[in-house]
Structure 1
Amino acid sequence: MKYLHLKLFVFVGLLVGFSQVQGQQLPSNSQRVHQDVPFVQEYAIKYYSEEVPMLDKVYADRNGTVQILSKSGLLRPHAGAFLYPGTLTPDKTYLAMKDKNIVSISTVENQFVYLDDKAVFSNAWAGSLYLQHELPSAASFAHGKDFTFLVSDGGHIHLVSKDGVSYKGKISGSPVIEITYDAATERFLLLAENKLMSFSPADKKLKTLTEGAGFTSFVVREGKNKLAIATKDGYFEWDLLSDKKVGQKQNALPWPVLTSLTEINGLLWFGSEQGAFMEKEDGKFNYYFGERWLPGDKVLHISQKNADEVLILTDKGLGKLVFMSQTLAEKAAYYEQQVRDRHIRHGFNATLRDMEKGNFNTGRIKDSDNDGLWTSMYLAGQAFRYATTGSPFALQNVKESLDAMERLYTINDIEGFPARSFSRSGFKDQLGGSEHWQDIEDPEWVWKATTSSDEVIGHVFVFGVIAELVDNEALRQQAIGLLDQLMTHIVENDWYLIDFDGKHTTWGRWNPEYVNGFPTMVGDRKLNSSNIIAMLQTAYHFTGKEMYKKEAYKLMDKHGYLENLMRPMEEIGQAKEGSDDWAAMLSQKWNHSDDEMYFLGYWGLYRYAFTDELKEKYKETIKDHWEAERPEKDGLWNIFGALVDRENFDLEEAVWYLQEYPLDLINWNVKNSHRKDIELLEPNFRNQSTKEVLPPDELKMRRHNGNRFELDGGRDGKEEMSAGDIWLLPYWMGRYMDVISKPVSN
């Protein structure tokens, strides 16, 4: 089984190092646990063509050598590894071939065989294969029985073997574009743009089997006595025993204008003008489109390299898909290194920006309005990791990122007010949102104001996780102290987050007058009520201060916050006509950042509920929200679903999310809205564009606050996102909750 190049995986054994020291675990009588056995993880290695010659075909021989045929001669891939693209370079291996006008290439017995204007020949078999075909304009050929070849120049066919040319025939109409051989019926099959033909070497008869239009490629289905024929509008199958068409043409494909067709391991692979795709056994497709997978959009040829590699030649170079075996734990180890290598800024979990076409060595770690939120989510994942494995690496990560979180509170002089971010001041004019950056007495540093409610709920979530799960008293007290400072600030400022200017921030508002000022169908009324009760319960649970409990009950009983947070999701929608502009703006469409805030708050809402009666109510509303989110198949939401009901949550979909997330977290451009194999829905409040969500590796990179039904988008390879919050949080939370097992030995 092939693995990523050595440099990529040398650290796996060190990082996985699954300690037998167990931290705190949730009690479980559930049998719904995913056993972490190896699954197939795919990734791409790309080779760009610098001169962009007219590329034609690609094959690999039994030695693993890859050759690409172009109009300027044979090429081969140079260098190239995962995340490190290679190039195509002239193949000078056999100097004596330099003067040959090679027009086609194939493999026989996994050896390269070539066609030029004089002969069919090979360097294998000690160079003994050299069959002159007498067609100076030869363009295509195929191997038959006992080293017999059928050669065509489009309008003629010659049958050649060691005994010479034994047959010459003429083709009428459109020229032959491809030839193949069917061993079961012992005949060659020829494809023209408007017809399918057969030629029997035994009786030397050429016959037209069917006529049509727009034929582009074909392949014999091994062991099925069928031929699949690609067209400019889908494909159809042909029965090779009865010579009749099978069923109807299939054009509900990712893109129906097909350019290439092959069969690998019993599955059809299609090349098109909009990427490549493989038809799975269930009739759905794996779609490979955009530079996550391929150098160019138009696919010219597809072939198999070995049991776990597929070569896809495009108009701009070669894409090699590698299918390796790994566990979720091994994937986590790779992502852990990705985060530590290039996504940590002063302890924050950050995004790499301003990259040059996927080259992460050219990027910079970017500050964010949400530094505190993304870091809270990464930090929680590391706390879950430590509680599960006892990893000293995870504990050190917790220490470093918690220090960054603490400095959000100490870099300004507002008691209990967390900055959005902080940065060195040297490039203040280049920092995003520069109007919100504030100077301090130390000229070396600036901090960012206008902190939002989504930062706050992230902070409370992770402070609670650390306080409960990390068996390090200094870290626990550090987290509890920050939690207490934050919540004291909010309570003492009448449920507002008060900024440097003495005014509340735009979103830091949980005051009853503000919250209940929204119509009941506006989501912020339910959201803010849910979040503040979760925050107060968390603060009470770890500080024991009666103030937090008293104020929570006042909000629930006097101001209706319990009723607000219990409101069913089906009642959330657009504000009625006549509502104020703020309510109308907030309810134009479903806000996926709200989902993230809800679910992060659910940890404290459910886990630290004041009473069992309240806990049952919270369970009801959490399950109601989870049901509304099920179509998105978000891994984190499904793991949170297990928090309240370990027997009835979408474990398979959570694992699907984790397994299908691409190793390449570069935000390449993607496009899916053109696909003909997806069922589009009418525009709706939740912006669910398709009946079924697409896999993560076919979508643009997005965090949990993004709409997973958004079909197109990306940043043209200029950004690499961190796995810290996107992937590691749901994985380690699943491990801690014991719904994902540690790696299972073979």
Structure 2
Amino acid sequence: MWFGATIGAIRYDGDHWEYREGKRWVPGNDIRAIAVNQEGGAWLATNHGVGLIERRPMTLAEKAEFYEDEIDKYNRRTPFGYVMSAVLEKPGDKAQWRNRDDDNDGQWTGEYGAAECFAYAATKDPQARERATQAFEALRFFSQVTQGGSHPAPKGFPARTILPVEGARNPNLESSYSIESDVKRKESDLLWKVLHPRWPTSADGKWYWKCDTSSDELDGHYFINARYYDLVAETEEEKDRVRQVVRDMTDHLIEHDFKLVDHDGKPTRWANFSPDTLNRDPWWWTERGLNSLSILSYLRVAEHVTGDPKYGDIAEELAWKESFAANAMYPKYQRGPGSFVQFDDEMAFMNYYNLLLYEKDPRVREMILLSFHEYWELLESELDPFFNFAHAALCEG
């Protein structure tokens, strides 16, 4: 049964309600007439024209092909092909669009690339391999571009994102990246960093790279690195590239007390996994669960990829001596309706996936498995494919 309203269309099938708002599903919000055809499709006359909502059966491969084509057309930035959102100049009109840098280029591109790794493992499609390799190399460049240049970062530090120097305005001149802006923001966020420049230049002078990299980005890096190593890399040369970037990044964290340290010699705002910070600093208690889960996951990925047992030994020490395994059982401090933030959920599930694959201590794995299942139960109704497939792969049976 369909209902028309001035704020969109509503469908009820006897068990579930569905809401279809204007411009996303139909041309306008003011629904003036509805006609349902024999196939169950609904024609809706609106204040901005007529639209059709239909259910079109398709395979997962067909659905993936549609979205991959859309990404290749609209959602890539720079020759490296970073995957991010596209902004349409006119709503609903894909004739003109623009892309811009995003603080989470590392996370989004990492998730996309990991999906292509899974696609290659399932199909052996050479195009999936090409896309996965491009995404891996794009994120590997984030760790290379920070070395040398105007304000070099310590080895193993990945950039948030990059911009070409040629033809671009110096982003450091934007008011949002000024010292004054940082000082103002610190008034509402006491842990915010006053840092300049936010966009150092690379050693070859071709790129601005953004600093103050967050834990979000590291989650994306480790997620694709592990998938690429296991599912795509076939030659020793390919595997060595993964080993090197994972080793450098993980050693950086270990050598800096489990903190990601920027070009100014200080930790970034969000990538802090130190036991002293998470367990003993009251300002960081909200990050305790998720960041504990993250660092345990990173260390097990590093152990798996490099074969060096030191990473597993450190993970074991954090898990028990610093109670990170217990911390990781509760990665979200908020519970209840409206309390979840989607990108935090994605971060948690990437780390759950890696940790449950590579954790060698059965006690820790049992604790994390329980945490993962409980978390998924809270998100099950969202019908998120990644969440559901990850849970099915690791918790079912």
Q: Say yes or no: TM over 0.5.
A: yes
Match of 1:566 in 2: 329
Deviation of 1:540 (Å): 0.9
Q: Tell me the SS of whatever aligns to 1:320.
A: strand
Match of 2:5 in 1: 272
Deviation of 1:429 (Å): 4.7
Residue 211 of structure 2, aligned match among 438, 449, 454? 449
Match of 1:331 in 2: 63
Amino acid at match of 1:302: I
How many residue pairs are counted as aligned between the two chains?
A: 364
* Structure 1 residues 136-193: Cα deviation after superposition (integer angstroms, max 9, x where no partner): xxxxxxxxxxxxxxxxxxxxxxxxxxxxxxxxxxxxxxxxxxxxxxxxxxxxxxxxxx
Q: Note closer, same or farther for the CA distance 1:304–1:519 as it changes in structure 2 (3 Å cut).
A: same
Matches within 5 A, 1:481-560: 481-518=244-281, 522-560=285-323
Q: Tell me the SS of whatever aligns to 1:362.
A: strand
Match of 1:384 in 2: 118
Aligned 8 A contact 1:412 1:447 in 2:
yes
Match of 2:84 in 1: 350
Amino acid at match of 1:420: R
Deviation of 1:608 (Å): 0.5
Q: Give structure 1 regions of 4+ aligned residues with deviation exceeding 6 angstroms.
A: none
Residue 622 of structure 1, aligned match among 372, 378, 383? 372
Q: Which has the higher strand share?
A: 1
Aligned 8 A contact 1:623 1:644 in 2:
no
Instruction: Give the % identical residues.
Output: 30
Aligned 8 A contact 2:171 2:177 in 1:
yes
Aligned 8 A contact 1:271 1:299 in 2:
yes
Comparing both chains, which one has the higher relative contact order based on Cα–Cα distances under 8 Å and sequence gaps of 6 or more?
1
In the alignment, is residue 371 of structure 1 matched against residue 105 of structure 2? Answer: yes
Matches within 5 A, 1:29-428: 268-280=1-13, 282=14, 284-304=16-36, 307=39, 309-345=41-77, 346-413=80-147, 414=153, 415-425=155-165, 426-428=167-169
Aligned 8 A contact 1:308 1:324 in 2:
no
Aligned 8 A contact 1:275 1:299 in 2:
yes
Compute the TM-score of the two structures, normalised by the length of structure 1: 0.46
Q: Note closer, same or farther for the CA distance 1:398–1:317 as it changes in structure 2 (3 Å cut).
A: same
Amino acid at match of 1:339: I
Residue 477 of structure 1, aligned match among 230, 240, 248? 240
Aligned 8 A contact 1:515 1:525 in 2:
yes
Separation in 2, partners of 1:398, 1:422: 20
Amino acid at match of 2:262: D
Deviation of 1:616 (Å): 2.3
Separation in 1, partners of 2:19, 2:292: 42
Computing the radius of gyration from Cα coordinates, the structure with the larger value is: 1
Match of 2:230 in 1: 468
Separation in 1, partners of 2:68, 2:53: 23
Separation in 2, partners of 1:347, 1:645: 34
Q: Which has the higher helix share?
A: 2
Q: Tell me the SS of whatever aligns to 2:269.
A: strand
Deviation of 1:596 (Å): 1.9
Q: Tell me the SS of whatever aligns to 1:271.
A: strand
Q: Note closer, same or farther for the CA distance 1:593–1:335 as it changes in structure 2 (3 Å cut).
A: closer
Deviation of 1:568 (Å): 8.4
Q: Note closer, same or farther for the CA distance 1:337–1:448 as it changes in structure 2 (3 Å cut).
A: same
Amino acid at match of 1:543: T
In the alignment, is residue 594 of structure 1 matched against residue 335 of structure 2? Answer: no
Q: Tell me the SS of whatever aligns to 1:300.
A: strand
Separation in 1, partners of 2:106, 2:31: 43
- Structure 1 residue ranges without an equivalent (≥5): 1-267, 575-587, 648-746
* Structure 1 residues 304-338: Cα deviation after superposition (integer angstroms, max 9, x where no partner): 56646533222222223344332222111111111
Separation in 2, partners of 1:521, 1:633: 31
Amino acid at match of 1:424: P
Q: Tell me the SS of whatever aligns to 2:86.
A: strand
Q: Tell me the SS of whatever aligns to 1:438.
A: coil
Separation in 2, partners of 1:487, 1:350: 26
Q: Note closer, same or farther for the CA distance 1:515–1:461 as it changes in structure 2 (3 Å cut).
A: same
Deviation of 1:537 (Å): 1.0
Separation in 1, partners of 2:29, 2:132: 42
Q: Note closer, same or farther for the CA distance 1:383–1:532 as it changes in structure 2 (3 Å cut).
A: same
Aligned 8 A contact 1:299 1:313 in 2:
yes
Amino acid at match of 2:394: V
Q: Note closer, same or farther for the CA distance 1:520–1:344 as it changes in structure 2 (3 Å cut).
A: closer
Aligned 8 A contact 1:352 1:360 in 2:
no
Amino acid at match of 2:6: E
Aligned 8 A contact 1:521 1:573 in 2:
no
Match of 1:44 in 2: none
Separation in 2, partners of 1:443, 1:550: 40
Match of 1:174 in 2: none
Separation in 2, partners of 1:643, 1:422: 35
* Structure 1 residues 63-87: Cα deviation after superposition (integer angstroms, max 9, x where no partner): xxxxxxxxxxxxxxxxxxxxxxxxx
Aligned 8 A contact 2:353 2:394 in 1:
no
Deviation of 1:354 (Å): 4.9
Amino acid at match of 2:206: E
Amino acid at match of 1:427: A
Q: How well do the aligned residues superpose, as a CA RMSD in angstroms?
A: 2.6
Q: Note closer, same or farther for the CA distance 1:457–1:335 as it changes in structure 2 (3 Å cut).
A: same
Compute the TM-score of the two structures, normalised by the length of structure 2: 0.84
Separation in 2, partners of 1:471, 1:527: 29
